[in-house]
Amino acid sequence: MNLLMRQTLPLLELDILKTFVAIAETGNFTTAAETVHRTPSAVSMQIKKLEELLGCTLFRRDARSVVLTHHGEVLLSYARRLIALSNEAVSRFMMPEMNGVVRLGAPDDVGELILPEVLRRFADTYPSIAVNVSIETSGNLRRAVAERRLDLAIFNASDGTLPVPGEILLKEQLVWAGKNCGNAHLKNPLPVSVWEEGCIWRARALEELSRSGRDFRVAYFCAHHMGQRAAIRADLAVAPLARFLVGDDMVALGEKDGLPDLGHYLIGLVVSEEADTPALAVADYIRAAFARIERRPMDMLQVAC
């Protein structure tokens, strides 16, 4: 019975999913139509077809904006994954003999936890291509791509302020991370571990603490992700972290623990207009890697003791 049901399920079309993602990222049917090289009416028909296929509404529309519904947010994750995996599969067979050097930039946290998988998978397919990785702040990375010192870069950005040019790889929740069963979050003033000036996580955390009226002090300062994690694990301080970076020996803290909500942030990708074929292939592997990230729901995270 289950096998029969699986065989009769309708298939999602990649072209329609690309249109859906374009609308979700631009918040505008007309702009999305330009992105996918279709007319606005054709884009509207595609979304109508997709909504009829899935039996749900994907966007809330008003005179000024287009916003994803809950069903739309769920589909967006699948759509990005399907598109990225399709690109990765096609590039594996159509461009197997490439060689050269690709200059890639990434922030410290992404460089440590996500790039190893990207580089391993890429090297398995394209062993003749060397990838030179630069670890820098997001602002410096975007500047390096604009100045053509990098071919492409991953960067962090505040939610709703994705720099142009750029595309969204992941929208993730920013949380307070503390040692599991630790007590740093109970101290007054609150000891906080922060990155260097210019880090969007630092700016968001300090701004929200000031707005909430919570007394705090900068107890630990480090420009590297490993240093931040060390401060958390030693229970010296709490620090703002992406939810998917909270390890098993940490706990995600929030308003129930007396700490302000930090909202979401964006991980983006910018590719040079002059990027060659090897650089574009690396970009596809990066998209696929982010599509595979398992995002744990908040109720699956550990609870502070």
**d(C-alpha 177, C-alpha 166), whole Å:** 28
Q: What is the CATH number of domain 100-170+266-294?
A: 3.40.190.10
The residue type at 108: D
Q: What is the DSSP letter of 186?
A: G
Chunk the chain into consecutive blocks of 10 residues (it has 305) and report each block's average pLDDT, rounded to whole numbers.
59 93 87 86 94 94 84 91 83 72 91 82 84 91 95 88 79 91 93 79 88 90 79 92 84 92 91 93 88 50 39
Structure tokens that stand for 11 in this block: 């298939």
**d(C-alpha 175, C-alpha 247), whole Å:** 12
Instruction: Give me the phi and psi of 302, to 5 degrees please.
Output: -65, 155
**Residues near 246 by beta carbon (within 8 Å), at least 6 away in sequence:** 175, 177, 252, 301
The pLDDT value recorded for residue 305 is: 45
Q: What is the DSSP letter of 64?
A: S
Q: What is the DSSP letter of 305?
A: -
The residue type at 110: V
The pLDDT value recorded for residue 202 is: 83
Tell me how many degrees the CA angle 50-55-59 measures, rounded to the nearest 5.
60
Q: Look at strands 264-271 and 167-179 and give their pairing.
A: antiparallel
Tell me how many degrees the CA angle 95-97-101 measures, rounded to the nearest 5.
95
Cis peptide before 189 (omega within 30 of 0): yes
**d(C-alpha 294, C-alpha 93), whole Å:** 27
Q: What is the CATH number of domain 14-94?
A: 1.10.10.10
| E-strand stretches of the chain | 59-61, 66-68, 100-106, 129-135, 152-158, 167-179, 190-194, 216-221, 239-242, 250-253, 264-271
Domain 173-263, classified CATH 3.90.25.10, yes or no: no
**Domain locations along the chain:** 14-94, 100-170+266-294, 173-263
Q: What is the DSSP letter of 252?
A: E
- 100-170+266-294 and 173-263 share one fold: yes
